[in-house]
Every structure is written in structure tokens, then in C-alpha cells.
Amino acid sequence: MDKRILVVGATGMLGEPVARHLKGDGFQVRILARDRNKASKVFDESYEIVDGDVMDEGSLEKSLDGCFGVHINLSGEIEQVGVETVVSVAPRKGVERITYISGTSVFEENTWFPQTKRKFLAEKTIRESGIPYSIFCPTWFMESLPKYVREGRAFVFGKQPNLYHFVAADDYARMVSTSYRLDNAVNKRFFIHGPEGMLFHDALRQYCKEFHPEIKKISTMPYWVANIIARIKGSKEMKFASEFMAFFEKVGEGGDPAEANRILGAPEITLDMWIKQRRDRM
């Protein structure tokens, strides 16, 4: 029997491909699910689904039974506390490996941004746990692009003059899964950057050309306009997206992907390839 990995946040946009790659690579995959019904619509019976919540130590105790590793894919306010809870339970369950999705901009000098601070502290907790780990610091995912199309309009907040090496979730998930097989992937932070540097506007234009041909122009929404609209609409999602892009415009894409590429195999999926794959799946 191959090793068992618990995936926390497997129903998430970036957790699901990791669970699938682990399975495809021969691991036994256990899914921690807050909502079993939702999880069983995503994963068939070859995945083991267990009820639980990352904030509840008791359910984590049970879910980590017999697990070699745990992959953590959380977002938002619970991220740091969720990681701390996993790390507090994992040693007594004999967990031998933790993988975790952080971000490409997670450096101490950027911790003025709350999300980055949570990720920075979550990473610190993992590093100090004594459990071998691989921390993944990916840049923007191609899978994020659809979120910037709303009500027949495609828009980017701010001017976004920086180049980003958009990465496909499939490439990232393959790298996470590979890390579980390699001793030299242990106790490292891996920066995951895709094969081509692009402006956000150009990436979104390319995406829209295929999936929203009716949209002829990528709009640029100034941050102050986005903030006013978000306030009027009471949209927390828009407020966060605008703040997040302002943060990225300021700090850019950080880290050097050379070590990740050398050890885990560089991402190969270009935006063009990703668009074709997505179209074929539809």
C-alpha cells in the first residue's frame, strides 16, 4: 500500500488538482471535508472522505490517523490558525511531511499586507514544527483569470505594469505531488512561476479572446473607483480583489523559481496551452 496523504481544502480551486495528482501518482488520498455531500460530488469513491474541520482538533486527530503527509490548502482569515491547528496535532500522529500553499510575495517586508502576514506566520509555524516540509510559493494562477470577468466586462484593478509568470494549477499540483517522493524537496520553499512573463491585461485579453469573444476591451479600473463601487455594493470580494492587486502592483512577483524547477521539473503549460485544455474539457 502506498503512503496516505490528507488534503485539507481539497474542494478548493487549488486543492482539488493536488488531490488528483497525488492520487494519479499512486498515493492514497484522504479528503478532510466540512461538507461530505459537496466533497463527494467532486471526488469519487477511490478517495477517502472524512468529516472534519481544520479548526477542530478532535476531527484532525482522527483524520490524520495513519497519514504520512498532510497538504494544506486554505484561504482567507482562517489560514494561519488552520495551519497552527494542523501543526499542533501532526507530531503526535506521526506525520512525516507537510506541504502548504503560500504565495510568491510572502516575505517579511511585505507583512504590512494582512494576507501576507497570515501566510508568513503560517510558514514560520511549519518551519518551526520540526516536521519535514515543502512550502509552495506560487505566483498568479491561470485559473484566477475567469474571476476578472463579470457581467459582460473584463477588468483589471490598477495599471498592473509588472510581468507575472502565470502558472497552471496542473503544473503546480504535479510539483506538489512530486515533492512527496523526493528527499531533496524537504525543508524548502519553492517559488512556482509559469513559463512566460505576461502583463495581467494581456493574459486576460488572451483568455477573453477564446471564452468571451464579445468582450473587445480589457478595462482598467482605478483603485479608488473599485473601492467606492465595493463600498456601495457591499462587496467584500471586490474590495479584497482591488486591495490584493494594489499590493501586487507595489511589490511585484517575488522569489526565484530556479530551485523548484531543478528539483521538481519546471512548469511547461503556457497560457495558450491552458486555454486549449480548458476549451477541450468544456
Ligand X SMILES: NC(=O)c1ccc[n+]([C@@H]2O[C@H](COP(=O)([O-])OP(=O)(O)OC[C@H]3O[C@@H](n4cnc5c(N)ncnc54)[C@H](OP(=O)(O)O)[C@@H]3O)[C@@H](O)[C@H]2O)c1
Contact residues for ligand X (CB under 6 A)? 8-15, 32, 34-35, 38, 53-55, 73-75, 78-79, 101, 103, 138, 140-141, 144
Cα angle 7, 10, 14 (rounded to 5 degrees) comes to 110
Closest to 278 in 3D by CA, of 135, 269, 201:
269
In the bound state, the residue with its beta carbon closest to ligand X is: 12
Give min distance, CB of 23 to ligand X, in A: 16
Using the minimum distance from each CB to ligand X, give the nearer residue, 86 or 185.
86
- Residue 250's CB is within 10 A of a number of other CB atoms, namely 13
Alpha helices (H) in the chain, listed in sequence order: 16-24, 36-42, 57-63, 79-89, 114-127, 169-179, 200-211, 223-233, 236-251, 258-264, 271-281
Q: Coil, strand, or helix at residue 143?
A: helix
Using the minimum distance from each CB to ligand X, give the nearer residue, 78 or 199.
78
Using the minimum distance from each CB to ligand X, give the nearer residue, 35 or 130.
35
Using the minimum distance from each CB to ligand X, give the nearer residue, 78 or 186.
78
The answer to whether 70 touches 3, Cβ cutoff 8 Å, is no
Using the minimum distance from each CB to ligand X, give the nearer residue, 85 or 216.
85
Q: For residues 90 and 69, give the distance between their C-alpha atoms in angstroms, rounded to a whole number.
A: 9
Give min distance, CB of 174 to ligand X, in A: 16
Give min distance, CB of 215 to ligand X, in A: 21
Beta-strand relationship, 163-164 and 198-199: antiparallel
Give min distance, CB of 189 to ligand X, in A: 13
Give min distance, CB of 157 to ligand X, in A: 14
